[in-house]
């Protein structure tokens, strides 16, 4: 996990009109909250925040939020809990920061990544179908991984990977139901069509024999 710092401004006013003014001024509105802290309304420089996201290259970010304005000059460690995007241009309109303590575990979702080529796919009879693209984990903030990798090389047609099959890195606990299916190998369309043709031929043969 990458640890970065960003300057923020505490907001005393809220509402759609205030948010619009902030965005026009190059600021993105947001809030900071957590189990042991009061909710704080704030804003960050839009360009700086986007630069940090882009430089992370998909790696999770742990923020040090340096608060300024309204007589507040404290710092808080936080994760991004949610990003509200514009429905048309996908620009970030609001940020939810969740305050964390470095010595206490947090629960977050991380993506899962298939590694290798499954036997069922290698034989050109199946395709890898992703059922669930992320898993919930619990760990210390700095131990949050970019993703959880799953080796699917030995996966054959009709076989599946469940949460119980994952061996997470040290210090990480999986929080999803162990029986949850994450990915499976299903018959390819060509294979399905071939099976249907074979079934149809068998039915014709059986009808001819009956006559």
pLDDT in tens, 23-61: 999 999 999 999 887 899 999 999 999 999 999 888 899
Asked whether the domain spanning 106-194 has the same topology as the one spanning 2-99, the reply is: no
More confident call, 9 vs 14: 9
Say how far residue 98 (Cα) sits from the centre of its chain: 16
Q: Over 80: is that where the pLDDT of 199 sits?
A: no
Q: Please, which residues have CB within 8 angstroms of residue 61's CB and are 6 or more apart in sequence?
A: 1, 2, 3, 4, 52, 53, 79, 80
CATH for 106-194, among 3.40.50.720, 3.90.550.10, 3.30.460.10, 2.170.120.20?
2.170.120.20
More confident call, 181 vs 38: 181
Cα separation, 166 vs 181, whole angstroms: 11
- What's the CATH number for 2-99? 2.40.240.10
Q: What pLDDT score does 204 carry? A: 43
Strands (E), 52-197: 61-68, 75-85, 92-99, 106-115, 126-130, 134-139, 148-151, 160-162, 173-174, 181-187
* Domain limits, the chain: 2-99, 106-194
Q: What pLDDT score does 106 carry? A: 94
SS3 of 169, please?
coil
Q: Scan for tokens 């030995």, then name that residue.
A: 154
Q: Scan for tokens 């069922």, then name that residue.
A: 120
Mean pLDDT score, 180-191: 84
Q: Over 70: is that where the pLDDT of 94 sits?
A: yes
Mean pLDDT score, 53-80: 88
């Amino acid at each position: 996990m990458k640890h970065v710092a960003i300057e923020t401004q505490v907001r005393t006013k809220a509402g759609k009109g205030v948010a619009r003014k902030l965005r026009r001024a190059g600021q993105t509105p947001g809030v900071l909250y957590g189990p042991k802290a009061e909710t704080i309304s704030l804003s960050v420089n839009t360009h700086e925040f986007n630069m940090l996201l882009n430089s992370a290259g998909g790696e999770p970010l742990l923020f040090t939020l340096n608060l300024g304005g309204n007589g507040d000059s404290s710092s808080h460690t936080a994760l991004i809990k949610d990003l509200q995007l514009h429905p048309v241009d996908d620009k970030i309109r609001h940020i939810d920061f969740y305050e964390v303590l470095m010595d206490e575990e947090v629960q977050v979702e991380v993506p899962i990544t298939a590694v290798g080529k499954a036997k069922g796919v290698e034989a050109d009879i199946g395709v890898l179908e992703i059922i669930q693209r992320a898993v919930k984990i619990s760990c210390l903030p700095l131990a949050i991984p970019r993703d959880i990798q799953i080796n699917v090389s030995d996966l054959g047609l009709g076989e599946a990977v469940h949460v119980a099959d994952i061996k997470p890195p040290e210090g990480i606990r999986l929080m999803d139901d162990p029986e949850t299916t994450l990915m499976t190998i299903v018959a390819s369309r060509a294979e399905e069509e071939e099976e249907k043709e074979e079934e149809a031929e068998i039915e014709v043969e059986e009808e001819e024999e009956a006559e």
